Amino acid sequence: MTLPPLTAGCLLALVSKCRRLLRQCQPARKKAKKRGLKLKIKIGNPHLRRLVSGAIAGAVSRTCVAPLETIRTHLMVGSNGDSMTEVFQTIMKTEGWTGLFRGNFVNVIRVAPSKAIELFAFDTAKKFLTPKADESSKTPFPPSLVAGALAGVSSTLCTYPLELIKTRLTIEKDVYDNFLHCLVKIVREEGPSELYRGLTPSLIGVVPYAATNYYAYDTLRKLYRKTFKQEEISNIATLLIGSAAGAISSTATFPLEVARKQMQAGAVGGRQVYKNVFHALYCIMEKEGIGGLYKGLGPSCIKLMPAAGISFMCYEACKKILVEAEE
């Protein structure tokens, strides 16, 4: 049975019109969806994009873990208690919540440019060291390993005085009023060279730490892609990969970190002054044994693991916003 000509013609016209409307609306829906899901901020200079991404990543990660950083520093130099719980309770009784964030502003000022310089140096060095298809290897070591070491050294040389001032403000809260007062007092009473006290063990510690950190992160990302056969890595996966890389590098270089913190504390408060990193390591081992070199490792890993994970996650997220080309 066939429909009357008029009815059939009306149905065909209606279907044709609906199909035209759907074709017109579909691109608009896709375009709106893209606009809703993706935020793009165009920065023309690729070097500036990496610097901004690194600075944001450093500031966010350090602020999130500031209380753990404060507790870790107290444990390293042996003030306010011998355990995480004891240090936390002492700070809460004497200073309150603000005590857990003491020195965080200086820490952010230090970490933001430090992380920006570090990530910029890493990307630049890795790009230079990675051979092209028709080139031979430029170094016997993996490019990410060498680039990570160079990045750590570059950022440390540029921002070490801020790290020392931050340590003094955290430990000697009754001696210094603020950042500027601490800087002036150190320069006047101890000399400008005091701003770089402990630089040698810091550099010795930074080279293996940064190299291990970036190499582990790069290797774990490749392993993730190979295992799950996915080129895109989610934010949660990036967080976990970065945390694992931070734990590996922190454990390997922790004794040098303890020696550096002890040297940075200086003679203020009647503490022993160490001649060099080897003297500091020897004295710590003599007084406290091998365990003294790993005092505070637990809270250090608890602090560094999320810090590294958040830093890498923020950096990758910022690259998607600031670095990728606008579609």
pLDDT digits (tens, 9 = 90+) for 269-304: 666 778 887 888 888 888 888 888 888 788 778 778
- What is the reported pTM? 0.66
Q: Within a domain: residue 263?
A: yes
Q: Within a domain: residue 327?
A: no
Q: Within a domain: residue 146?
A: yes
Q: Within a domain: residue 85?
A: yes
Q: Within a domain: residue 158?
A: yes
Residue 268 has pLDDT above 70, yes or no: no
CB atoms within 10 A of CB 11: 11
Print the domain residue range for 180.
45-321
| DSSP states of 178-239 | SHHHHHHHHHHHH-GGGGGTTHHHHHHHHHHHHHHHHHHHHHHHHHHHHHHT-SS--HHHHH
Q: What is the pLDDT of residues 40-96, one digit of tens each?
A: 777 777 778 888 888 999 888 888 888 887 887 787 777 777 788 888 888 888 888
> In CATH, what number is assigned to the domain containing residue 288?
1.50.40.10
Q: Within a domain: residue 27?
A: no
In whole angstroms, how far apart are CA 164 and each of 26, 209, 236, 263? 59, 19, 33, 10
Residues 6+ apart with CB under 8 A from 127: none
Q: Which amino acid is at 187?
A: V
Q: Within a domain: residue 7?
A: no
Domain count, the chain: 1
Q: Within a domain: residue 191?
A: yes
